[in-house]
A = this chain, B = another copy of it.
Amino acid sequence: MTHIALEWLDGRLRILDQSRLPWDQVYLECSDYREVVLAIEEMRVRGAPAIGVAAAYGIALGASGIRATGSDEFLAHLDEVMKAFAVSRPTAVNLFRSIDRMRTAARGDGIEEIQRALVDEAQRIHGEEKAATGQLSELGSELVEDGFTVLTHCNAGPLATAGYGTALGVIIAAGHRGKRVSVLATETRPLLQGARLTAWELQQEGIPVTLITDSMAGHFMQQGKVDCVIVGADRIAANGDVANKIGTYTLAVLAGENGIPFYVAAPTSTIDLSIPSGDEIPIEERSPDEVTDIRGVSLAPQGTRAANPAFDVTPNRYVSAIITEKGIVREPYVEGLGAAVSPAG
């Protein structure tokens, strides 16, 4: 990695503004938690694991800024901070997991001790995500054979995880093991995370990448040019249904139709055992401007109505395996995911 998505700098959070990549490498230096909330909302930091880490640091930042006369007042203010993060984006479960962990960690003898405990917990969450993405990348790399062309969607690299990446982590780890791997990257409309971020990260790793529009993926699968599909995830239900960037369901159906393995790579922090199936995952609807405009340029007649669901849900029957840091989970997912998430797993 030649870039660092997120960095805690002695009381400030430094965020690489992913919305301006690859053209401008600009860092946001956040000293107010509301700047972190905004960075999440505006997708300056994005990717489920990275959102979880940013929210944890953001809560620690918010806690540091609270001036209160006693613990009760402090905790009331802290609750407001947490609520601001809870409504920033709805789909990635890592965000809510971080909030829960930070709430549990908010203990100590006096305000300063609680503040320190929260910074510690945020750093622990970050460290765990780094370790988990490193481990799942290594494990998953066994699925990628020498000479493979892997199709991926959106960006599930170091940027998206504040660690080693999930889908791209697996691909990069296979490359480090000496396997020749090439990548077909979908551009991922509307926000072009594939064109902007995946192409950029793979170029830095020296892994050959060819950019395609989202609409071309089926053609390349049909032509026998894709050996496997690997994507990340924003939330995985207990039964293995996967919410991920809009377009993922389409790729899963196409992979199934063409007999191509479809893998999901995600740390266990992305698994939400509290919901039995993907039907209950909230799908964020973002501004139609993201569809009708691109980098300030209009793509459609003025006044055109557009829809903009940011995610879709891939039913578990299309998923060949889920790559986690605890192992590669296959059907039946209810059992495998349950075991992976359990403390003893």
Contacts and interface: CB of A to CB of B under 8 A. Distances in A.
Contacts of A292: 195, 211
A89 B299 CA distance: 25
For the complex, would chain A's binding face be called helix, strand, loop or mixed by DSSP majority?
Answer: mixed
Interface stretch (A65-73, A216-224, A335-343): A216-224
Interface stretch (A102-110, A119-127, A167-175, A243-251): A243-251
Interface stretch (A35-43, A77-85, A306-314): A306-314
A274 interface: no
- The number of chain A residues touching the other chain, given as a range, is 35 or more
A188 B249 CA distance: 18
Contacts of A299: 187, 192, 195-196, 294-295
Interface string A200-222: 10010000111111111111101
Given A211-B292, A211-B306, A305-B209, A216 B297 contact: no
A187 B214 CA distance: 11
Given A213-B214, A216-B246, A218-B312, A297 B294 contact: yes
A340 to B, nearest CB: 27
Contacts of A212: 291, 306-307
Contact of A301 (B189, B199, B217, B298): B199
B312 A222 contact: yes
A297 B300 contact: no
B213 A300 contact: no
Contacts of A23: 298
Nearest to A303: B203
Given A222-B249, A312-B218, A213 B196 contact: no
B291 A294 contact: no
Interface centre among A184, A196, A292, A299 (most CB of B within 10 A): A299
Nearest to A250: B218
A2 to B, nearest CB: 13
A216 B295 contact: no
Contacts of A208: 305
A188 B215 contact: yes
Interface string A267-306: 0000000000000000000001001101111111101111
Interface of A: 22-23, 184, 186-190, 192, 195-196, 199-200, 203, 208-220, 222, 246-247, 249-250, 253-254, 257, 288, 291-292, 294-301, 303-307, 309, 312-313
28 contacts: A184-B307, A189-B213, A190-B213, A196-B300, A196-B301, A199-B301, A199-B304, A203-B301, A209-B305, A210-B305, A211-B292, A211-B300, A211-B304, A211-B305, A214-B214, A215-B215, A215-B246, A215-B247, A215-B250, A216-B246, A216-B309, A218-B247, A218-B312, A222-B312, A253-B254, A257-B257, A294-B299, A295-B297
